[in-house]
Amino acid sequence: MNQDLRRKLDRITNILFAGGVNNPITYIEQISYFIYLKLLDERENEIALKGRLGGKNITSLYPGQAEKYKWSSWRHFSGEKLLKVVRDDVFPYMANVNSDNTHIAIYFRDAVLQVHDPNILKQVIDEIDTINFSRLGSDVKGDIYEYMLTYLNTMEGSLLGQFRTPRQIRKMMVEMVDPDIGDTIYDPACGTGGFLIDALEHIMAKYSESKEEVPIYGEEWLINKYLDRLSDDEQLQFEDEEFSFDNNLKLRTKLLNELKEENKNLQTYLKGNGDLIPNWEILEQSIYGVDVSRQIMRIATMNMVLHGIMKANIKRGNTLSEMGGLTDDDLYRKYKVILSNPPFAGVLPKESIRENLPTNTKKSELLFLAVMMDQLAEGGTCAVIVPEGLLFGSTNAHLELRKKLVEQFNLLAVVSLPAGVFKPYAGVKTSILVFKRPYKDSLFSDKVATEKVWFYEIKNDGYDPDKITGGGRPETAEANDIPRFMREWKNFKNSNFKEFPGIEGETRLPHNSREPKCWWTNIGEILDKNYNISASNYKPSIETLNSEIEPSEIINNILIIEKNIVNKLESLSNNLRND
């Protein structure tokens, strides 16, 4: 995304914020409406062109008299006329379009225009009208939306923590489960769609003739690194230079290779345009997400649209409830890949909980894990972030769920995350569970599905665990355990999960040993410990050297120190009396 696009987005943001639309969620929702209407207008122009060229079975979104609702039919209006047409005509029409476009109707259902000043609305429409989305690749359109989502970082932590998962963690989890074409991919608490977008980008990169390696810190970070290498005079010319930087893959690749040479811990991922994807429809129909908030559902949907998924399977609903607005197909469909960071807080009334979920708990984290276990297809893989308490909690609900997890599923790994990974939004300690559902013919009544569990402790995730600046944690690119972890994971995966990296859990290591990063334990140990699957419970210990000083000598030293303290206090007291 070049500087010109960034400037336009910043101008739109400043216009809306100045006009009173300054809640980041509302801002993104409102701008999403306008982008969608512009995208649909561009698509309609393509349909009209195909019709003129003899195309058949082409259904217009705006047939006959409805053409007046097209973006190009009203975008030149101004004042109260523009406001009235958009609010009272366009939005209601979009919410009731023909059956061929139900995904559009669902998106605009209950949509409310929050821009009440016609002058503000006109400025926003004019800015968006200058962007020709049809000429932008899906990667650039995706970057536009990711850039907009950065404004969520200005939200209150308690709100933001509900649906934002740090990119470095999302990218790591997606790479671990390695989704592919034909896999159904699901997030039962999808938020803004981060996991689904990352899974989509992962598949697109797999099926691209050329692909680019990108740092997790994003485009701006790479540009700043580029600027650091320029002289003062060269930096003055950056406005011209940036255009060549944005469009020069060779230059960006060279710079990134230099940065990786300087820092072996730099975390990156691959991006591509998906030009080798054999059937885009299959990919489009395989991605599913649910969120309880209609606003967030709209944001996730637009995120998918701008990444090329026009008919996204994103629904508003409560995954945990029989009365959550989802169909039976939604509630009982099986998925090959599940990726999620569900909400940890909150409880559900017992009467509202789905009948196939545990009835002895109302905790959302337990219920969400139960949903994922239930909806994971045979041979499928799930990676989910859970609060640490779920791994060792002693209630019957905790024990029964963990028992089912290790006995009926193959629990591959428990990855302990840093305590500060969700700061400043939340300080809860978390871990990632990665498990597979075995095929039925591989299960035996006298044998549990899990034989061993691999544990890995990530202490650094590429961001400072303690400092908070500008609404987030500053980057520490040199301190990141994730690249090393992924190398170990790939070796583990290449062995078909038979060769466990590290050493056996609870091993006692010599006093001069390095602290281990990973270890494993047999299922027997886990059963003996009440199905406790916390990584720290099995971490190998390092022996400490016994002191060679005699106890009597230690006591004498302490007495000498105490006497010195008493003498100094007495001296201070005498001086105060003399004064």
Q: Average pLDDT in the 60-74 region? A: 87
Band the pLDDT of 382: cuts 50, 70, 90: very high
Say if residue 424 is in the same domain as residue 488: yes
Contact 361, 397 (CB under 8 A): yes
Contact 421, 457 (CB under 8 A): no
pLDDT at 153: 62
- Which CATH number belongs to the domain containing residue 127 in this structure? 1.20.1260.30
Tell me if 399 is assigned to some domain: yes
Say if residue 334 is in the same domain as residue 429: yes
Contact 283, 176 (CB under 8 A): no
Tell me if 294 is assigned to some domain: yes
The domain total for the chain is 3
Tell me if 159 is assigned to some domain: no
Using CA atoms, how far residue 312 sits from 107, 146, 167, 337, 485, in Å, is 10, 17, 21, 17, 33
Say if residue 225 is in the same domain as residue 302: no
Say if residue 458 is in the same domain as residue 523: yes
Please, what's the b/e burial string for 486-497 (b: 16 or more CB within 10 A of its CB; e: otherwise)? eebbeebeeeeb
Q: Reply yes or no on whether the pLDDT at 284 is more than 50.
A: yes
Tell me if 298 is assigned to some domain: yes
pLDDT at 461: 94
Say if residue 414 is in the same domain as residue 384: yes
Say if residue 324 is in the same domain as residue 259: no
383 is written with which tokens? Answer: 């990676």
**Whole-angstrom Cα distance, residue 298 to residue 345?**
23
pLDDT at 220: 78
The residue from 107, 135, 163 where one domain ends is 135
102 is written with which tokens? Answer: 């139900």
Q: Reply yes or no on whether the pLDDT at 578 is more than 70.
A: no
Among the residue ranges 142-156, 197-211, 319-333, the one predicted with the least confidence is 142-156
Say if residue 124 is in the same domain as residue 243: no
Q: Average pLDDT in the 415-430 region? A: 84
For residues 1 and 280, which has the higher predicted lDDT (pLDDT)? 280
Band the pLDDT of 413: cuts 50, 70, 90: very high
Residues, the chain, total? 579
Contact 360, 400 (CB under 8 A): yes
Tell me if 395 is assigned to some domain: yes
Tell me if 385 is assigned to some domain: yes
Say if residue 399 is in the same domain as residue 476: yes
Average pLDDT taken over every residue of the chain? 86
Q: Where are the alpha helices (DSSP H) in 469-578?
A: 482-494, 523-528, 551-578
Band the pLDDT of 473: cuts 50, 70, 90: confident
The residue from 103, 135, 167 where one domain ends is 135
Tell me if 151 is assigned to some domain: no
Q: Reply yes or no on whether the pLDDT at 574 is more than 80.
A: no
Q: Reply yes or no on whether the pLDDT at 407 is more than 90.
A: yes
Q: What range defines the domain where residue 117 resides? A: 1-135
pLDDT digits (tens, 9 = 90+) for 312-362: 899 999 998 877 788 889 988 999 999 999 987 666 777 778 877 876 788
Among the residue ranges 133-137, 343-347, 528-532, the one predicted with the least confidence is 343-347
Say if residue 531 is in the same domain as residue 396: yes
pLDDT at 215: 93
Band the pLDDT of 547: cuts 50, 70, 90: low
Q: Which residues have CB under 8 Å from 312's CB, separation 6+?
A: 103, 284, 287, 289, 300, 301, 304, 305
- Which CATH number belongs to the domain containing residue 304 in this structure? 3.40.50.150
Say if residue 228 is in the same domain as residue 295: no
Say if residue 45 is in the same domain as residue 70: yes
End-to-end CA distance of the chain: 74
Among the residue ranges 271-280, 324-333, 442-451, 522-531, the one predicted with the least confidence is 442-451
The residue from 93, 118, 135 where one domain ends is 135
The model's pTM is 0.85
Q: Average pLDDT in the 169-195 region? A: 95
Percent of the chain with pLDDT over 70: 89
Tell me if 143 is assigned to some domain: no
Q: What is the DSSP string of 367-422?
A: HHHHHHHHHEEEEEEEEEEEETHHHH--SHHHHHHHHHHHHHSEEEEEEEPPTTTT
Say if residue 120 is in the same domain as residue 36: yes
